[in-house]
Amino acid sequence: MFTRLKLYLAGVSAALLGLLAIYWRGRSDGADAVELNITKGRLESARAAKEVEDEIDALDDTELSSRAASWVRKADG
């Protein structure tokens, strides 16, 4: 009787450990996916900033001044 009980206990323990392993693996994969999305977002932001910087560097002084006029305070007086 104890042999059968030990066998059932071992089976249930193995099943619980298997479920626990699947759970932790899912959490790990989810964390990896979130980290990948964050990295992709940072890369896209850096790429967009570089494009804007290159665009601004390509402008001559007159174009740059006219585009920046809306962002600069008007002189009083």
pLDDT tens-place values along the chain, 77 residues long:
778 999 999 999 999 999 999 999 999 999 999 999 999 999 999 999 999 999 999 999 899 888 888 888 877 75
Radius of gyration, alpha carbons of the chain: 31
pTM above 0.85? Answer: no
| Residues listed for the chain | 77
pLDDT of residue 1: 78
Task: Give residue limits of the domains in the chain.
Answer: 36-66
CA atoms lying within 13 Å on the CB side of residue 3: 0
